[in-house]
Amino acid sequence: MSEKSEQFDVAVVGYGPAGAALANILERQGMSVIVIEQFPQSYLLPRATHLDGESMRILQSVGIATALAPKLGTYFRMRFEDSDGNLLLDWPRSRAPGIHGWYDSNRFHQPDLEAALQARVAKSPRVSVRRGWRVTSLTQDDTGVLLAASNEPGETLNARARFVVGCDGARSTVRSLIGGEVSPLAPPEQWLVVDFTLQPGAPELPEGTVQYCDPKRPVTYIEGAGKRRRWEIMLLPGDDPATFADPENVYRLLARWISPKDVELERAVVYSFGSAVSTRWRDNRIFIAGDAAHLTPPFLGQGLCSGLRDIINLAWKLDWTLAGRAAPGLLDSYQQEVEPQVSQYIGEANRIGAIIQVRDPEKARKRDAMLRSDPRSLTSIKPRLGGDLWGQKANPLAGTLAPQPKLLSGALMDEVVGLRFALLARPGVLARLGSASLARWQSAQGVLLEGDGQDYLDSLGVEAVLIRPDHYLFGTARSAVELEALIDALPLAAS
């Protein structure tokens, strides 16, 4: 059977968290979206447990942060301990919300996030979700992409979209179809990941995350949201991955902390923690995002966070392109900006992984001494975007994250701005702009916030800041002349 092809602004391949977040954010921009997912049901077992403050702010832009908030846990510390249980390093997180208006580190259950994303999609007439279809081919022409998918009985689904985004995970079909290649950035290591829920009467367990840096067997403990607890246990040479996840082995390895009566075992799976970046994120009208574009080992809790950074970076650029206001090169800037940034996150995750995974006793002694003597050897990184940043690169603030201040009205800034540019400025600054810059600012359809965020402007010593829809700074201006230059640099099509 073959269906008549339907027409959409964007087709999203894969209904994991990246695909579902993208569908929501595009829908919020008024686009029609089809999501095609190979499996009839969601993946219900836990994977990611940590979301940073930037990711929570992206989920606010996606429209589901409030729905997810009651299910979040907070997370204030990661301790590193030596093989005798002595503290090597305490890596605290702030107990107050950070610059994004959210805690810097949040605990969550990935299926809760996916359910919240899917519930919002279900309410929208603009998004059509087709489950049980596997995308097999993409054919593009000057105006769009024809997508073909097949199902179990061998039927064919055709859809046409102006753009396609492959959010189809680590084994991405879309990545293969556009000729993207991945090669490992560090040797993958095998770890057993075990998730439990605590039962009444369970013993007191540590707060936050603990890295048990025992060269005989590195182990990570994670206090999850609510009663969820996770242990990750490194496999050693000679361990048999086929039997390592057996419950008897799991409880033997964790006897120091829990016994079967204390917990309900949800799942135990041996993972290969890999790291990789695709060589190619775009072929004309086809893109990849999320795990399809990059893989991060979970030592930094940044895999899904990176996928969310991808989708917000791409979403406003697709919006501008479909609205006909994008400068040539705007869509190319997606990979140029995000790939160098995610590569830094992956590099840092691998560095922390190498610290945790030391197995040689002599190297472990040196590692322990390093962590004890330098408490700042581990700090949260927030890498700047890559690319030429539209001529603003000489300004060290361009391409770095902007805070989300509370406005004088009491609202958080992004609630008012949405997925648009925001101009935080001293009162009266627009009146000093020339007519050409004013016209450009109007075609950018940004939001002017005069008088708001003055503390932030004071802290930078500037008259205005221009914030991109993905929450990164486009640039800063110390005068009306500098602001004109900034507005002239916006990636707008020639009028």
Q: What are the residues binding ligand FAD (CB under 6 A)?
A: 13-19, 36-39, 47-50, 110, 134-135, 167-169, 173, 193, 271, 290-291, 298, 301-305, 307
Q: Decide if 199 contacts 303 (C-beta within 8 A).
A: no
In the bound complex, what is the minimum distance in angstroms from residue 160's beta carbon to ligand FAD? Answer: 16
Q: Provide the minimum distance between the beta carbon of 230 and ligand FAD in the complex, in angstroms, as a whole number.
A: 8
Residue 260 CB, shortest distance to ligand FAD, in Å, is 22
**Toward ligand FAD, which CB reaches closer, 210 or 490?**
210
The CB-of-38 to ligand FAD minimum distance in angstroms stands at: 4
Q: Are 295 and 278 in contact (CB under 8 A)?
A: no
* End-to-end Cα, the chain, rounded Å: 47
What one-letter code names the amino acid at 451?
G
At closest approach, how far in Å is the CB of 24 from ligand FAD? Answer: 13
Signed CA dihedral, 18, 140, 326, 447: sign only: negative
Instruction: Report the alpha-carbon distance of residue 118 to residue 9 in Å, rounded.
Output: 19
- Nearest CA to 39 out of 112, 114, 109 is that of 114
Name which of 17 and 405 has its Cβ closer to ligand FAD. 17
Considering the complex, state which of residue 347 and residue 491 has its C-beta at the smaller distance from ligand FAD.
347
| Residue whose C-beta lies closest to ligand FAD | 16
CB of 219 to ligand FAD, least distance (A): 14
Min. distance of Cβ 165 from ligand FAD in angstroms? 11
Q: How many beta carbons lie within 10 A of that of residue 255, not counting itself?
A: 9
Shortest separation between residue 83's beta carbon and ligand FAD, angstroms: 24
Q: How far is the CB of 357 from ligand FAD (least distance, A)?
A: 15
Nearer to ligand FAD, 212 or 441 (CB): 212
Helix axes 17-28, 303-322, angle to 10 degrees: 30
Q: Checking DSSP bridges between strand 156-166 and strand 286-288, what pairing results, if any?
A: parallel
Task: Closer to ligand FAD by CB, 76 or 271: give it.
Answer: 271
The smaller minimum CB distance to ligand FAD, of residues 16 and 469, is found at 16
Q: 58 or 167, CB closer to ligand FAD? A: 167
Helical packing angle, 53-62 and 17-28, nearest 10°: 50
* Residue 291 or 414 having the CB closest to ligand FAD: 291
Nearest 5 degrees, angle CA 198-CA 200-CA 206? 50
Instruction: Choose between 49 and 392: whose C-beta lies nearer to ligand FAD.
Output: 49
| Residue nearer to ligand FAD on the CB measure, 148 or 354 | 148
Give me the residues paired with residue 8 across strands.
161
Tell the residue number behind the tokens 């093989």, with chain if given.
83
State in angstroms the smallest separation of the CB of 111 from ligand FAD.
11
